[in-house]
Every structure is written in structure tokens, then in C-alpha cells.
Amino acid sequence: QKEVEQDPGPLSVPEGAIVSLNCTYSNSAFQYFMWYRQYSRKGPELLMYTYSSGNKEDGRFTAQVDKSSKYISLFIRDSQPSDSATYLCAMSEGIKAAGNKLTFGGGTRVLVKP
Amino acid sequence: GAVVSQHPSRVICKSGTSVKIECRSLDFQATTMFWYRQFPKKSLMLMATSNEGSKATYEQGVEKDKFLINHASLTLSTLTVTSAHPEDSSFYICSAAPSYLYQETQYFGPGTRLLVL
């Protein structure tokens, strides 16, 4: 079993719909959670960073963390064709524990159709 | 802020030659930088962790003599693929972790596409 599980997709939605992405993890030591967006042939771009259970909102993006269930989510409201990309979740035990080392999910490919 | 650059963006070389890839944090200092490799439609695979002023830590299965890493300053790390072979062709991505400790995340460079003929 992988430490971080993420549905590879592809996830196809119409423009304007809400995109719902999630990851599950098995390592209870993970304390920091990130979502990255990666366009084809580009480096990952940090979208959201959270370190506590609950919701965090930034523009059209909402990140949700449930540490008790070991489950994190990313919601994208009012999706646009430009949101079409691969979304990667990533997690860390923290600098003191693991020196910034991130564990990634496999990524979910999202396609927003005009 | 938090911009990481990589150079070159793509490189083609002959088998047996060495290739150097640079990773720079442009507007922050990074005590730690990371080197990843990514195959098509796959997630990132961590190759090594690079700490400024000390030897890199390589992940299991990564040949340290083949993938030489140097982290000479707080804004620059280099990856040298020595005696490159076609199977080394891949997308190499670096990331940098800001030195300020309240944020435990990484910022990624745009990647370098290596093709070994």
C-alpha cells in the first residue's frame, strides 16, 4: 500500500463546475499538507499549504484536512479551462522530523471542458 | 516571491557525455534543495536531498556517483548527470525549501528535459 493514495483520473468537468480532489494517507505522522498544480512539461506550482485540520480558503480554492480520517481534499470553484492540469497532493512530517521531505500522491489529471 | 529557476530548460546530449543542471532560488535563501525525476504521466520521484555546505543524501537506488549534486551556496544547487545513457533521459525537477522555518513546504523549478541520444 502506498503512503499516499490519489485517484489518477482523468476527471472531466464542464466549465463552471466544482472540481473535487482528494488524497488519503496512512502515515499518522504527516502534519503538513500541500496541493500543487502541474501543467504538462512544467514544474509543480504550489496552490495551498495547510498544517491543521479544517478548511482553508484562497480565492477559488478550498483545502480541507481531516487528520482523524487521514483524508485531505481540494475544491476548485467556478472551474475554468485553464484549470486543466494534474493536481498533486503532498505531505510532510515536518522539518524537525524529516527535514522538509515531501511524500507525493500520484496526481489526478483534471480536464475542464468549455 | 518564492521563485525557483532551472537552467537549461532542455538539453540533448550524446551518450557518454556529462550534463550539468543548475537550480537557483531567486528571491529567497534555501538551506535545503531537492532533486526529483519524473517520468511521463507519473508522479515525482525524489532522487536526493541537497543541504548547503554538506554532502547530499541520496534516496535508495539512486547512484550517487552517477548523479553528482553540489549545493555550494544558499541559492544554488547543481545536478550533474555523468556518463549519460539513453535510460537517463527524463524530466528533472528541483525544489527549494525556504530557510525561514515557519513554512514547511517546497517551491519547484520549471524542470529540465534531458534527452540522451
Averages of pLDDT over each 10 residues, chain A, 114 residues: 89 97 95 93 91 92 95 97 96 70 92 96
Residues of A with CB under 8 A from a CB of B: 32, 34, 36, 41-46, 49, 51, 88, 92, 94-95, 99-102, 104-107
B102 pLDDT band, cuts 50/70/90, is low
Shortest CA distance to A73 belongs to which of A11, A20, A6?
Answer: A20
pLDDT value at residue A37: 96
pLDDT value at residue B101: 54
pLDDT value at residue B105: 76
Residues of B with CB under 8 A from a CB of A: 2, 4, 6, 32, 34, 42-44, 46, 49, 91, 93, 95, 97, 101, 103-111, 113
pLDDT value at residue B7: 97
Residue B106, pLDDT > 90, answer no
CB-based contacts of B59, cutoff 8 Å, min separation 6? B45, B46, B47, B48
- A99 chain-B contacts, CB cut-off 8 A: 32, 49
Average pLDDT, integer, range B27-36: 89
Pairwise CA distance, residues B8 & A105, whole Å: 27
Amino acid at B102: Y
Residue B29, pLDDT > 70, answer yes
Average pLDDT, integer, range B61-78: 92
Pairwise CA distance, residues B15 & B42, whole Å: 25
Order the strands of the A19-25 sheet from edge to edge.
A4-6, A19-25, A71-76, A61-66, A54-58
pLDDT value at residue A15: 97
pLDDT top residue among B20 and B51: B20
The 3-state DSSP class for residue A56 equals strand
